[in-house]
Structure formats: structure tokens, C-alpha cells
């Protein structure tokens, strides 16, 4: 008797999203716990509501996430922070904490809180399509 081969129904949606992402060459950032519909696409998210698949992000998606987070239209300063978050994550495998964000992004702490109220590092990471920094609650 041969061993039963797993079929898609046995894997569950989380595994299917992971396989799909890997087949497209995308890094899976965090465990997938659900999905969200944004701009007509079903996207995998982690326990904090951040995108789980790095390659799913694009600037149009960032604009929509910002609107949903109550940020409004993204300015050049927003984009500076968002791009910095993505660059650090891509280079080091984790997004920067708030202290590093203020020291290295060129945007000071007060400006960060104005740009991303109520948790600038966490909110900027969500819009940037990276996991919540480990230092955020």
C-alpha cells in the first residue's frame, strides 16, 4: 500500500498561500493567519494585520493601506520612512525599531508621530508591507 499523498484540501489555505508565494519567488515574512481584500486582491496577513508575503506589496497598495489606517495621502516624508523600512527589512530580515528609524531615516521623532500617529514604527511597517518591529507592542 502506498502512502497517501497530501492534497490541497489537507493543507489548508495557509499552506496554499505559502506554496503560491514560494512558487512566485516571494519571501514569506510571518506566519499567515488570515487574508484581507485590498484593491480587489486577496492578500495573506499575519497576526498583527501586516502583509505576510513581501512581494505582494506595491506603492498603490501602500496608498490604500495608509487610507485604511487613517493616514490620508502619503507625502514625500511618508515615502522616505516607508522606503527606509523596506530597505532595512530586505537587507537585514527585520524592520527597524523606532529609535533606529528616527536616527537613520532622516525624519525626527516628532515628525514621525505626526506622519504616523499612535505608533509610528508599527504603522509605518504596516504601510511598508513588512512585519511589526519586535520592539512594538
Residue 43 lies in a domain: yes
- Identify the pLDDT of residue 30: 55
Active site residue 136: yes
Number of domains in the chain: 1
> Is there a domain that residue 2 lies in?
no
Please give the residue range of the domain that contains residue 112.
11-128
Decide: 26 and 55 in contact? Cβ < 8 Å: yes
CATH number for the domain harbouring residue 44: 1.10.10.370
- Please provide the DSSP assignment of 31-65 as one string: ---EEEEETTEEEEE-TTS-BSBGGG--HHHHHHH
Give the per-residue pLDDT at 4. 37
pLDDT of residue 66: 97
- Distance, CA of 89 to CA of 73 (rounded, Å): 24
The residue annotated as part of the active site, out of 42, 109, 136, 137, is 136
Looking at the domain assignment, is residue 4 inside a domain? no
Which residue reads 537613520 in cell numbers? 104
Ramachandran region, residue 96 (left: φ > 0; alpha: ψ -120 to 50; beta: rest) = beta
pLDDT at 53: 87
Residue 21 lies in a domain: yes
- Domain assignment of residue 5, yes or no: no
> How do residues 67-119 score in pLDDT, each as one tens digit?
999 999 999 999 999 999 999 999 998 899 999 999 999 999 999 999 999 99
- What would the pLDDT profile of 45-65 be if each residue is shown by its tens digit? 888 889 988 889 999 999 999
pLDDT tens-digit map of 26-37: 455 557 778 889
Residue 116: inside a domain, yes or no?
yes
24 in a structural domain: yes
The verdict on residue 84 lying in a domain is yes
Split at pLDDT 50, 70, 90, the class of 16 is very low
Amino acid at each position: 500500500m502506498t502512502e497517501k499523498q497530501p492534497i490541497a484540501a489537507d493543507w489548508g489555505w495557509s499552506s496554499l498561500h505559502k506554496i503560491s508565494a514560494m512558487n512566485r519567488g516571494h519571501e514569506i515574512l510571518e506566519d499567515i493567519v488570515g487574508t484581507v481584500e485590498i484593491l480587489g486582491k486577496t492578500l495573506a496577513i499575519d497576526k498583527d494585520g501586516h502583509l505576510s508575503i513581501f512581494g505582494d506589496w506595491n506603492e498603490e497598495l501602500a496608498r490604500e493601506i495608509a487610507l485604511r489606517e487613517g493616514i490620508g495621502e502619503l507625502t514625500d516624508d511618508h515615502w522616505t520612512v516607508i522606503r527606509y523600512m523596506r530597505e532595512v527589512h530586505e537587507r537585514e530580515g527585520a524592520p527597524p525599531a523606532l529609535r533606529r528609524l528616527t536616527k537613520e531615516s532622516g525624519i525626527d521623532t516628532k515628525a514621525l508621530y505626526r506622519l504616523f500617529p499612535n505608533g509610528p514604527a508599527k504603522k509605518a511597517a504596516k504601510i511598508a508591507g513588512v512585519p511589526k518591529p519586535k520592539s512594538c507592542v
